[in-house]
Structure 1
Amino acid sequence: MIRGVVLDLAGVVYEGDHVLPGALEAIAELREAGLPIRFVTNTTTKTKQMLLARLNAFGLDMTDDELFTPGQAALQWLTDHDASPVLLVHPNLEEEFADIPVRGTRAVVVGDAGDAFTYANMNRAFRALIDGASFLALAKNRVFQGDDGQLSLDAGAFVTALEYSCGEDAIVLGKPSPDFFDAALESMDCAPEEAVMVGDDAESDVAGALKAGLSNAVLVRTGKYRDGDEDRFDPPPTAVANDLADAVAWIVRHS
């Protein structure tokens, strides 16, 4: 039986500057059914507060403790390990790390830096890594769907390039990290076997959630979904839905 719902955002709830049709009503249906919701995103071009303000402007009425971001996870990791960041992130995200003091231990933090993925910035991160800094990837997605509706190269390619050159695997903090899913589930006191993930990314959202121990994961045919994605990664989705409203109908039947 499903007792908690984990929802991806971009491509599932909204695209670009608009909410997807039926998404707000579907979320309201989950709340009316008494199912707690946590929203998890690998978006790293905005701070958590920027995202929260944007999503609430869409009408989501989301609270701070319902939203989980890789930037938030990175701040916790840096605190737990008494480390200061060497940032290779989008300029919008830099302010999220502005108050961290300089410490003896360093960690390279890589997010979706966009146009800041220059040779100079990549080489600066590489030199910090071979000098002993820890390696944190906010996410390692292959692609994302841009505001133009087209797929674009995501941070995963740049993380992989640094891994290749420095000979060290990054610690991935966002999806599909089991710790990321666990934090969301723990916050709503929901066991993995009683949870469901809904996402448009068959690899990070769906297979990632199932590998992290969630019993159910629904792939929606919106956002970055492309024909045949349900068969490209293992484990496959528990169910495939046309959109969030269709996914919620499936969840309510199984709750």
Structure 2
Amino acid sequence: MTTARHHQICLEATAYYHCISRCVRRAFLCGQDKESGVSYEHRRSWVEDRLFALAKVFCIDLCAYAIMSNHYHLVLHINKAKADSLTDSDVIDRWLSFHNPPVLIQRYLRGDIHTQDEYNAVCSIIQTWRQRLYSISWFMRLLNQFIASEANKEDGCSGHFWEGRFKSQALLDDKALAAAMAYVDLNPVRAGIAETPETSDFTSVQFRLDNSRNPKASVAYLYPFIGQNNSTQEGIPYHLADYCSGIVNLAT
């Protein structure tokens, strides 16, 4: 029996989760179908671009990712404190980045709410949206629905694209977080499609390394490495140089 998602996500235990989604049967998320010769490599950009767009809007931080031929891995950090600090206007703006507003919210935005009952209903909607902005289930839903729709449209077919619900694993301490991130970043190397982390396309480690060499580039899409005992900034409790050195050693 499957476990309800809200029982798998427990913020009291940890804010970090390793998530995986896999395509059904022989469907290709990316890569090349050796039998037909059709290449789906361009879809990697779909996933990465959508990930960055969602990370910009949701209060869920992207720690690590790897986009493979028929599945992808994510390490996510739920930032409930950030969601709680948003103003009602912020919540509305973020949620409407991916959704059309219901009539009541349209009226609220026009200043056309006149009764307490209507105002209470608006507040209830905003609170629901605030909770969804730090929900991994909603984050993954908007990612997977978009990719499935685009892939089915391109393939000229319909039906399921993903193999059921995404899988999630709680990362209960810093060691588990580091191990999961390294596992994700090293997926292309272990699969034999890249020789080093630096040449592992569409992974967070390559993205971080490329941007670390370009001071003008921004890695705002990714949750930053801040080291330990840093009380002035939110982020992953390791230094980027130490992390990269560690996974390079694991790859050799």
User: What TM-score, normalized to structure 1?
Assistant: 0.22
Which structure exhibits the higher relative contact order, with contacts defined as CA atoms closer than 8 Å and separated by 6 or more residues?
2
More strand by share: 1
User: What TM-score, normalized to structure 2?
Assistant: 0.22
Which has more radius of gyration? Answer: 2
